[in-house]
Chains A and B, each alone.
Chain A
Amino acid sequence: MTVADLWSAMPLVILATGAMIILLLGAVVPGRHGIAVGAVAALGSAGWALLSPPAQAATLGLVVSPFSRFFTLLFGVVTASTLLLSRDWLARRRMEGEEYPATLLFAGFGMAVVAAADNLLILFLGLEALTFAFYLLAAMDRDDPNSAEAGLKYLLMGGAAAAFTAFGLALIYAGTGALELSAVAVTGGNGVLLAGWGLLLAGLAFKVSLVPFHLWTPDVYQGAPTPVVALLATGSKAAGVAALLLLLGKSGTTFLHTPLWLLALLSMVVGNLAALCQRNVKRMLGYSAIAQMGYVVMALLTGSGDGFAAALFYLVLYCAMNLAAFGGVGSLVGEESTGLIDELSGLGYRAPWRSAVLALGMLALAGIPPTAGFAGKFSLFRAALAGGEVTLAVIGMLTAALSLFYYLRVVATLYFRPAQGATAPVVTPATMIPLAIVSLLLLLLGVWPEGVLQITQTITR
């Protein structure tokens, strides 16, 4: 390992040391500096990834490629936004202390490791690092029993999924004798390797909440602190898809076509149907996430460059949409909220900007122009049709039409119903700035998606 290697691994180093510094600072100047330091570290890591030249040689199982830089940038920005969005929420819940920002930054570190992995063990370590951080984060609101419940559920099911992943990797190692990512390429008739792939896929399907490995999602989304869910829904999902992209990019999707097809179909159908019946906003968004991941897998399973590029493009939009959605919900509902959609009644006029962000997020998730959601849906379904997945695309489209109902219900509640007693809590620019940025991004990418499309195309080539 040379100095140059260290230099190129700097984005990861910044995230990890940032987390340490926050904890150390807590011993010296306890207070709320953690958020600021964390946001700076996350943005610094993102900036470094953006500006550093790609160094191709892999060391320590890490590689700096356009792919990893793209994701590091995405994770850095998402982590920083989540930290900022957390500030007002933490103040409302009187959760002072450094453990929250440090753990959040550590989750960001895990995500960045996943995207930079060139080795199956490193990939596993990255995935577990980020999931471990989320076990803590989900349970961090000590005064809220729902939070503890969410943390425990995530831990129990996540532990099982981690066991699946680890055993799958072990089988792949047993079948091929290698731990490099390229080892996952299936060569005819290697039963052990195939069995390993099956377990690995189950583990990853858990991470990105594909039906039937989705059961934790609605519960954790509902119970965990809202800003934590914002990161769980964006960064953690993107990291899971990044892992899928890395592995499927090496192995191709032909031998996995049927399982992926079924996962996509079930996720789209079950996710959308279940979301229709929800009365809790965050729970509804949890089911919506399941459905959305179904669309992404639909594009992935074509195995084409188009499909991978569309999935990458959609991930960027997906992060922006969910930050808008959870950021909006988190800033609109107050202390004694139970999280029902009805509690948003009439807030469209009491808190016009935050409500507009939430409504925009809903319309984007539904894929309606002029929001970026349309460009994203278009590229996913175009890739699916170009890859010959006509049946899946038609079913996906029909379920997307269904999904409009539950997304619109939030918009209708915000603007059409008379305001009830509750008012939206007061927020500071720490909440408003990230919300403004994601909203502008959602509109800008809706009207002019070409720039990001070019980038995703270059990366997947």
Chain B
Amino acid sequence: MTDSCILSLLILLPLLGGLLLLPLNGRPALARWLALTIVALEFGLMLLVTLKTPAQGVGLLPGGYFLLEDRPWIPHFGIRYLVGMDGISYLMALLTAFITPLAVFTSWRSIKERVGFHFSLILFLEGAIMGIFLSLDLILFYFFWEAMLIPMFLLIGIWGHGNRIHSALKFFIFTFSGSVLMLLGIIGVHLVHLAQSGKATFAIPELIGTTFPPALEGWLFAAFLLAFSVKAPLVPFHTWLPDAHTDAPTAGSVDLAGLLLKTGAYGFIRIAWPLFPGAAAALTPLLLVVAVVGIIYGSWIAYAQTDLKRLVAYSSIGHMGFVMLGIAAWTPVSLTGSVLQMVNHGITTGALFALVGMLGERAGTREIAAFGGLWQRAPLLSGLFLFFAMASAGVPGLNNFVGEFLILAGSFRAAHLMTVIAFIGVILPLIYTVRLSQRLLFVTPRSDFSMGDLSHRETVILGSLALVDLYLGVHPIQFLELLKGPVELLTGGAP
């Protein structure tokens, strides 16, 4: 089933929509509705794709893809426009199509200046991230991987708060510096493959299985590892994240936590591990330690934060540590858990950032100490905040629990000690979220700013996100079925 143009449409629709919105700065209402139409169309396209997901893995193309598109792009270098979708990229694309409307809604009223430009950047970001998740050619991947930084840089720098210029530059320079060596790594993989097979290609499916000289494999793997670790982010490459999150506008934070971090983890799964299984296996102990350090450290620091947004940002580091643990263990169950956890974290943390943004806009401050007693004044907002905070803490029945459980259960077989330590990391988020919820929602109010409850628009978005959280928490089997095939291909065993 090579329904060719639908994947390209998924990438191009937001990009062209972004171009369309660029000159609409003077007409905010039109820009908003147009942006909403485009992200809705994109979501509709994803639903159309959903109809094409094969039941029980029938009708799959070789490599487990159910949609594939292959055209020459720069034949001079053997670069192809090769995009494909399997279960993993399907989930990631669905997440992208789901989070972007959230980003659009959160900036609906809060962005008052240069509205057209703002929404066009959100759309460019969506297109580029779609491109990352669908690319199967390394250069195409890298193209989107770096192009994505420009809209995020501008979002933080133009509409951000506080020390926005510094944070925007830090974000761009950190992530770019992390990736430049990956470009050399990509060329290196290509050249080794060229020397062995005589075929110039950058296509991931063809490059898998290339044998590298051991010393070279280590260096190449390190180049990829660095790029993905900065983006994921893994401790100690995480320092750009709290700054970027704190100073980004709400939509930027939502996209950053919901989507950008996932591209790093996705890179591990799609590229780094399949290309260099030997080096990955050799480095597993180190990566497990890094993942667990991330879990404990992120949660620990989150506990100490006094700024709402910074707290959620550090909690992301902890959660991405879990994702990394599942990837590093590389067992079928843990990998399934990691992919699922990427979706869970995207939705839950995206929603939390949206809520934090709403709180910040209403109160004019994000200091935790300034809040209190919200439950009486804004019951809907408080209820949803509590819901997502509990989901984030991994309460059973909600989505994060499923992911964390699968990751821990899967990893235990591969790494006893590290998994046992990681179990502590399950408790830590509970501590800081319960404390946060208490100080925010229940104690007596500490300042008397007027706090309106959620509008209908906000209730609908957050409510639907909550439903998805609940659905993923009690009935994740459909998603697990989707992941079965690709995970089996990656790890060589059924989950």
User: Within the complex, which residue of A374, A405, A411, A450 is in contact with B76, where a contact is CB–CB below 8 Å?
Assistant: A450
Distance from A410 Cβ to chain B, minimum over Cβ atoms (Å): 12
The residues of A that contact B76 with a CB separation of less than 8 Å are 449-450, 453-454, 457
- Asked whether, in the complex, the Cβ of A404 is within 8 Å of the Cβ of B143, the reply is no
CA gap between A409 and B143 in the complex, in Å:
22
The residues of A that contact B154 with a CB separation of less than 8 Å are 415
- Which of B180-188, B207-215, B471-479 faces chain A? B180-188
- Asked whether, in the complex, the Cβ of B146 is within 8 Å of the Cβ of A404, the reply is no
- Asked whether, in the complex, the Cβ of B183 is within 8 Å of the Cβ of A408, the reply is no
- Asked whether, in the complex, the Cβ of A412 is within 8 Å of the Cβ of B169, the reply is yes
Interface residues of B in 75-133 (CB under 8 A from A): 75-77, 114
User: Is A385 an interface residue, CB under 8 A from the partner?
Assistant: yes
User: Within the complex, which residue of B146, B180, B191 is in contact with A398, where a contact is CB–CB below 8 Å?
Assistant: B180
- Asked whether, in the complex, the Cβ of A416 is within 8 Å of the Cβ of B177, the reply is no
- Asked whether, in the complex, the Cβ of B172 is within 8 Å of the Cβ of A404, the reply is yes
Distance from B112 Cβ to chain A, minimum over Cβ atoms (Å): 14
- Which of A54-62, A102-110, A156-164, A375-383 faces chain B? A375-383
- Asked whether, in the complex, the Cβ of B169 is within 8 Å of the Cβ of A385, the reply is no
User: Within the complex, which residue of A382, A404, A416, A457 is in contact with B164, where a contact is CB–CB below 8 Å?
Assistant: A416
Q: With A394-B181, A416-B158 in contact, do A404 and B187 touch (Cβ < 8 Å)?
A: no
User: Is A393 an interface residue, CB under 8 A from the partner?
Assistant: yes
User: Is A417 an interface residue, CB under 8 A from the partner?
Assistant: yes
Bits for A159-189, please: 1 = Cβ < 8 Å to B, else 0. 0000000000000000000000000000000
Distance from A200 Cβ to chain B, minimum over Cβ atoms (Å): 32
- Which of A72-80, A246-254, A261-269, A362-370 faces chain B? A362-370
Identity of the chain A residue whose Cβ is nearest the Cβ of B15 in the assembled complex: A370
- Asked whether, in the complex, the Cβ of B147 is within 8 Å of the Cβ of A397, the reply is no
Q: With A370-B147, A382-B77, A386-B191 in contact, do A416 and B157 touch (Cβ < 8 Å)?
A: yes
- Asked whether, in the complex, the Cβ of A369 is within 8 Å of the Cβ of B147, the reply is yes
- Asked whether, in the complex, the Cβ of B75 is within 8 Å of the Cβ of A400, the reply is no
The residues of B that contact A450 with a CB separation of less than 8 Å are 73-76
User: Is B232 an interface residue, CB under 8 A from the partner?
Assistant: no
- Asked whether, in the complex, the Cβ of B168 is within 8 Å of the Cβ of A416, the reply is yes
User: Within the complex, which residue of B74, B146, B169 is in contact with A368, where a contact is CB–CB below 8 Å?
Assistant: B146
User: Is B325 an interface residue, CB under 8 A from the partner?
Assistant: no
User: Is B442 an interface residue, CB under 8 A from the partner?
Assistant: no
The residues of B that contact A374 with a CB separation of less than 8 Å are 143, 146
- Asked whether, in the complex, the Cβ of B184 is within 8 Å of the Cβ of A381, the reply is yes
CA gap between A436 and B76 in the complex, in Å:
28
Q: With A368-B149, A374-B143, A386-B191 in contact, do A412 and B184 touch (Cβ < 8 Å)?
A: no
The residues of B that contact A385 with a CB separation of less than 8 Å are 184, 187-188, 191
The residues of A that contact B183 with a CB separation of less than 8 Å are 377-378, 381, 397
User: Is A91 an interface residue, CB under 8 A from the partner?
Assistant: no
Interface residues of A in 117-175 (CB under 8 A from B): none
CA gap between A405 and B165 in the complex, in Å:
12
Interface residues of B in 163-195 (CB under 8 A from A): 164-165, 168-169, 172-173, 176-177, 180-181, 183-184, 187-188, 190-191
Bits for A432-461, please: 1 = Cβ < 8 Å to B, else 0. 000000000000000001100110010000
CA gap between A239 and B243 in the complex, in Å:
46
Distance from B18 Cβ to chain A, minimum over Cβ atoms (Å): 12
Distance from A443 Cβ to chain B, minimum over Cβ atoms (Å): 11
- Asked whether, in the complex, the Cβ of B147 is within 8 Å of the Cβ of A401, the reply is no
Distance from A397 Cβ to chain B, minimum over Cβ atoms (Å): 5
- Asked whether, in the complex, the Cβ of B75 is within 8 Å of the Cβ of A404, the reply is no
CA gap between A457 and B181 in the complex, in Å:
26
The residues of B that contact A449 with a CB separation of less than 8 Å are 74, 76
- Asked whether, in the complex, the Cβ of B180 is within 8 Å of the Cβ of A369, the reply is no
Identity of the chain A residue whose Cβ is nearest the Cβ of B176 in the assembled complex: A404
Distance from B214 Cβ to chain A, minimum over Cβ atoms (Å): 16
- Asked whether, in the complex, the Cβ of B181 is within 8 Å of the Cβ of A382, the reply is no
- Asked whether, in the complex, the Cβ of B139 is within 8 Å of the Cβ of A417, the reply is no
The residues of B that contact A379 with a CB separation of less than 8 Å are 77
CA gap between A411 and B169 in the complex, in Å:
10
Distance from B72 Cβ to chain A, minimum over Cβ atoms (Å): 8
- Give the contact-size bracket for chain A: 20 to 34
Distance from B24 Cβ to chain A, minimum over Cβ atoms (Å): 13
Distance from A402 Cβ to chain B, minimum over Cβ atoms (Å): 8
The residues of A that contact B143 with a CB separation of less than 8 Å are 369-370, 374
CA gap between A408 and B139 in the complex, in Å:
23
User: Is B281 an interface residue, CB under 8 A from the partner?
Assistant: no
User: Within the complex, which residue of A370, A378, A398 is in contact with B139, where a contact is CB–CB below 8 Å?
Assistant: A378
The residues of A that contact B75 with a CB separation of less than 8 Å are 450
Q: Which of B114, B142, B153 has the most CB of A within 10 A?
A: B153
- Asked whether, in the complex, the Cβ of B146 is within 8 Å of the Cβ of A369, the reply is yes
- Asked whether, in the complex, the Cβ of A368 is within 8 Å of the Cβ of B150, the reply is yes
CA gap between A374 and B146 in the complex, in Å:
10
Identity of the chain B residue whose Cβ is nearest the Cβ of A385 in the assembled complex: B187
The residues of A that contact B139 with a CB separation of less than 8 Å are 378
Distance from B63 Cβ to chain A, minimum over Cβ atoms (Å): 26
CA gap between A374 and B73 in the complex, in Å:
15
The residues of A that contact B173 with a CB separation of less than 8 Å are 401, 404-405, 408
User: Within the complex, which residue of A369, A397, A411 is in contact with B184, where a contact is CB–CB below 8 Å?
Assistant: A397
Q: With A382-B187, A408-B153, A450-B74 in contact, do A416 and B176 touch (Cβ < 8 Å)?
A: no
User: Within the complex, which residue of B114, B176, B187, B188 is in contact with A401, where a contact is CB–CB below 8 Å?
Assistant: B176
CA gap between A397 and B186 in the complex, in Å:
13
- Asked whether, in the complex, the Cβ of A412 is within 8 Å of the Cβ of B187, the reply is no
The residues of A that contact B158 with a CB separation of less than 8 Å are 415-416
CA gap between A379 and B177 in the complex, in Å:
19
Distance from A389 Cβ to chain B, minimum over Cβ atoms (Å): 11
Interface residues of A in 77-116 (CB under 8 A from B): none
Q: Which of A369, A378, A449, A453 has the most CB of B within 10 A?
A: A369
Identity of the chain A residue whose Cβ is nearest the Cβ of B74 in the assembled complex: A450
Distance from A298 Cβ to chain B, minimum over Cβ atoms (Å): 12
The residues of B that contact A416 with a CB separation of less than 8 Å are 157-158, 164-165, 168
CA gap between A393 and B168 in the complex, in Å:
28
- Asked whether, in the complex, the Cβ of A363 is within 8 Å of the Cβ of B150, the reply is yes
- Asked whether, in the complex, the Cβ of A394 is within 8 Å of the Cβ of B74, the reply is no
User: Within the complex, which residue of A369, A386, A417, A453 is in contact with B165, where a contact is CB–CB below 8 Å?
Assistant: A417
- Asked whether, in the complex, the Cβ of A397 is within 8 Å of the Cβ of B180, the reply is yes
CA gap between A356 and B37 in the complex, in Å:
27
CA gap between A329 and B181 in the complex, in Å:
31
CA gap between A434 and B393 in the complex, in Å:
57
CA gap between A386 and B78 in the complex, in Å:
14
CA gap between A404 and B139 in the complex, in Å:
20
Identity of the chain B residue whose Cβ is nearest the Cβ of A398 in the assembled complex: B180
Distance from A344 Cβ to chain B, minimum over Cβ atoms (Å): 14
Q: Which of B75, B76, B153, B176 has the most CB of A within 10 A?
A: B76
The residues of B that contact A377 with a CB separation of less than 8 Å are 183
Distance from B187 Cβ to chain A, minimum over Cβ atoms (Å): 5
Q: Which of A363, A405, A408 has the most CB of B within 10 A?
A: A408
CA gap between A368 and B190 in the complex, in Å:
20
The residues of B that contact A401 with a CB separation of less than 8 Å are 173, 176-177, 180
24 A-B pairs with CB atoms under 8 Å apart are A368-B146, A369-B142, A369-B143, A369-B146, A374-B143, A379-B77, A382-B77, A382-B187, A382-B190, A385-B188, A385-B191, A386-B191, A394-B184, A397-B183, A400-B180, A401-B177, A404-B172, A404-B173, A404-B176, A412-B165, A412-B169, A415-B158, A450-B74, A454-B76
In addition to A404-B173, A404-B177, A449-B76, 16 A-B residue pairs with Cβ atoms within 8 Å of each other are A349-B114, A370-B147, A378-B183, A381-B184, A382-B77, A382-B190, A385-B184, A393-B184, A397-B184, A401-B177, A405-B173, A408-B172, A411-B153, A416-B157, A416-B164, A454-B76
Taking beta carbons and an 8 Å cutoff, which residues of B are in contact with A?
73-77, 114, 139, 142-144, 146-147, 149-150, 153-154, 157-158, 164-165, 168-169, 172-173, 176-177, 180-181, 183-184, 187-188, 190-191
Taking beta carbons and an 8 Å cutoff, which residues of A are in contact with B?
349, 363, 368-370, 374-375, 377-379, 381-382, 385-386, 393-394, 397-398, 400-401, 404-405, 408-409, 411-412, 415-417, 449-450, 453-454, 457
6 closest A-B pairs by CB: A401-B177, A453-B76, A416-B157, A369-B143, A369-B147, A401-B180
